[in-house]
Amino acid sequence: MSIYQQIASIEKTGEAFVFCTIVSSSGSTPRHEGSKMLVFSDGKISGTVGGGLIEHLVIEEALKALKERKNKILKYSLVNPEKGDPGICGGQVEVYVEPIIPKLTLVVVGAGHVGKQVAHLGKWLDYRVVITDERPEFCNPVYIPEADEYIICPISEIPQLVKINPFTFLVLTTKSSSVDVEGLPVLLETETGYIGVIGSKRRWELTKKELLDKGITKEKIDKIHSPMGLELNAETPQEIALSIIAEVMMVANASSGKMMKSN
């Protein structure tokens, strides 16, 4: 399978990766212009840009680029290892590093009134939307027509059925604190880019206490956004969904959430 066929296949799965290409080489180098390598979020690779230390350095920079979501050009001299060069071939090489970011996946956990509206707004924003709920009468395309996938399961089984990575955002619009306490420990072990839990401050304090009692560390609990959403004095399911999606966008885009005129 060619590297371009691999890319086409990977993009269908929604996996993030980095496309690395040697764009310039001069003198003696292990690989020359046009050599390509894919770097995946777990550090695994396909293809090569030369092996050895230079490839190790490119992989490190590729993973940083993926986290920062920024393209970059890496320049290496392969002359004098005593001065930090990654080789002694005598040449120079430039590598273009391009993160390929998948469409953000919004996993709506709980298909009630608010969850339905979150799914609607998420789809309108062109996110990939997954609905999960234990209740088949809510988790279906008749009740929520906008979703891309419907999974009927308890929260604890979600990581087995949904591929969760830093570009997956988990929005828990659940019915009670007890449901959250049961499901959150498993979700906190994933690499999700966001976990938000609906509810009042009082509900969250109760949930947090029970999670601590179950042995979940404060460091992990602090990753949870709850009460979820930006402060908009929202009341209706549509308004609450807007508040939630606004926070999702803020985190996804690494923005402040401030009013534009205050910047």
Per-residue pLDDT of the chain (263 residues; tens, 9 = 90+): 788 888 888 877 778 899 999 998 876 666 688 889 999 988 899 998 887 778 888 999 999 999 888 999 988 776 544 444 445 555 778 899 999 988 899 999 999 999 999 999 999 999 999 999 999 999 999 999 989 999 999 999 999 999 898 889 999 999 888 888 889 999 999 989 999 999 999 999 999 999 999 999 999 999 999 999 999 999 999 999 999 999 999 999 888 888 888 76
Residue indicated by tokens 């005129």: 261
Contact status, residue 138 vs residue 111, Cβ threshold 8 Å: yes
Radius of gyration over every alpha carbon of the chain, rounded to an integer in angstroms: 22
Domains of the chain: 3-100 (no CATH), 105-261 (3.40.50.720)
Please give the order of strands across the beta sheet that includes 168-172. Answer: 149-152, 128-133, 105-109, 168-172, 194-197, 224-225
DSSP, collapsed to helix, strand or coil, labels residue 130 as strand
- What number of residues does the chain have? 263
Q: What is the pTM of this model?
A: 0.80
